[in-house]
């Protein structure tokens, strides 16, 4: 776990420098006033206004280390993660840390801060989707809010649901009761986190040539898993389900089963996610 904020050092340096200037000024001139006090003031203001940029600059040059507890969670629950070669796994771990540090996390209606492992489990999905891409931060979606249970929202005040995107505010909302089971038992539960980040990727990564799907996609979905369009709609809790995002979800979760039923679609997704580059088709080797 990596909690230190490098921008905080600017406050410490500014404070120590101000004390030193005051002591020197008083001992030599008998007054604590000095034009040099502008230096720590400017330093402190810089740390306050440019804090996120300063932190990110340091994080990129001195990558934080992923907590061993989180690594064990990944190893136990993810075939994808276990199959990553060492160099890719190190990159994956670093990106999870950087993703966590880059985002604003809100634990709705909870007195405590969102646990680090919950943040890591959420960060796992955008990092998985972009492991072969340079851009992995999924901007402008920089805020993640997690509710304990399915929730109501201003857009859906009469439907309890498990996930939602607010593109105008750059926020993703999840229900914790949907997050944990799908991560622990990916073949049994629909993963709303993976689904929503697939939606974000389709909407924001304009340089990628995503395939177009129509309603025919849904017809054979029961041949891949024991649930289809109706069950996915029930899991999310909203009426509109994006077929391509579901396809990406199944591509990563159900591997060869999905490839067998949708071979041409998988070839197109291989090109997008570069599944045959650097580390083979690990996304497609789940043990079912």
Q: Which helix (H) or strand (E) is 144 found in, with range?
A: strand 143-147
- What the block records as the tokens of 108 is 């709705």
139 half-sphere exposure, CB direction, 13 A CA radius = 6
What would the pLDDT profile of 168-217 be if each residue is shown by its tens digit? Answer: 999 999 999 999 999 999 999 999 999 999 999 999 999 999 999 988 99
Q: CB atoms < 10 A from the CB of 60, how many?
A: 10
Percentage, residues of the chain above pLDDT 90: 66
CB 167 within 8 A of CB 199: no
Overall residue count recorded for the chain in this entry: 288
Helix 51-61 / helix 38-49 crossing angle, nearest 10 deg: 80
> In what side-by-side order are the strands of the sheet with 163-166?
104-107, 143-147, 171-175, 163-166
Q: How many other C-beta atoms lie within 10 A of the C-beta of residue 242?
A: 18
In whole angstroms, what is the distance from residue 250 CA to residue 236 CA?
15
Question: What is the rounded CA–CA span in Å between residue 72 and residue 94?
Answer: 15
In this structure, the dihedral spanned by the alpha carbons of residues 101, 105, 110 and 116, taken in order and rounded to 10 degrees, is -30
Extract the residue ranges of the chain whose pLDDT is less than 70.
Answer: 1-12, 14-15, 17-18, 26, 36, 40, 43-62, 275-288
The encoded tokens of residue 8 equal 């905080």
Which pLDDT does position 34 carry in this prediction?
73
pLDDT, position 199: 97
How far is CA 239 from each of CA 87, 159, 236, rounded to the nearest angstrom?
41, 10, 8
Token pair for 111: 């007195």
pLDDT at 29: 74
The pLDDT value recorded for residue 48 is: 55
pLDDT of residue 51: 52
How far apart (Å, rounded) are the C-alpha atoms in residues 6 and 214? 48
């Amino acid at each position: 776990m990596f909690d230190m904020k490098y921008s905080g050092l600017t406050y410490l340096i500014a404070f120590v420098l101000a004390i030193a200037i005051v002591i020197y000024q008083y001992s030599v001139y008998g007054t604590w006033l000095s034009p040099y006090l502008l230096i720590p003031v400017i330093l402190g203001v810089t740390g306050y206004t440019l804090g996120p940029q300063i932190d990110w600059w340091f994080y990129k040059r001195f990558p934080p280390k992923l907590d061993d507890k989180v690594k064990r969670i990944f190893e136990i629950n993810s075939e994808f993660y276990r199959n990553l070669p060492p160099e890719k796994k190190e990159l994956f771990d670093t990106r999870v840390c950087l993703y966590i540090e880059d985002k604003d996390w809100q634990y709705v209606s909870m007195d405590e801060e969102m646990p680090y492992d919950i943040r890591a489990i959420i960060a796992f999905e955008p990092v998985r989707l972009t492991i072969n891409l340079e851009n992995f931060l999924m901007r402008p979606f920089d805020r993640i809010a997690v509710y304990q249970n399915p929730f109501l929202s201003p857009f859906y005040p009469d439907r309890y649901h498990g996930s939602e995107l607010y593109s105008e505010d750059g926020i993703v909302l999840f229900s914790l009761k949907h997050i944990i089971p799908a991560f622990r038992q990916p073949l049994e539960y629909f993963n709303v986190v993976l689904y929503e980040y697939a939606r974000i990727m389709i909407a924001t990564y304009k340089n990628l040539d995503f395939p177009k799907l129509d309603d025919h996609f849904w017809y054979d979905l029961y041949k891949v898993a024991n649930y289809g369009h109706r069950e996915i709609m029930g899991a999310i809790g909203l009426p509109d389900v994006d077929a391509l995002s579901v396809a990406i979800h199944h591509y990563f979760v159900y591997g060869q089963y999905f490839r067998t039923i949708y071979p041409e679609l998988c070839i197109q997704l291989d090109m997008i996610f570069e599944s045959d580059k650097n580390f083979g088709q690990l996304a497609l080797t789940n043990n079912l």
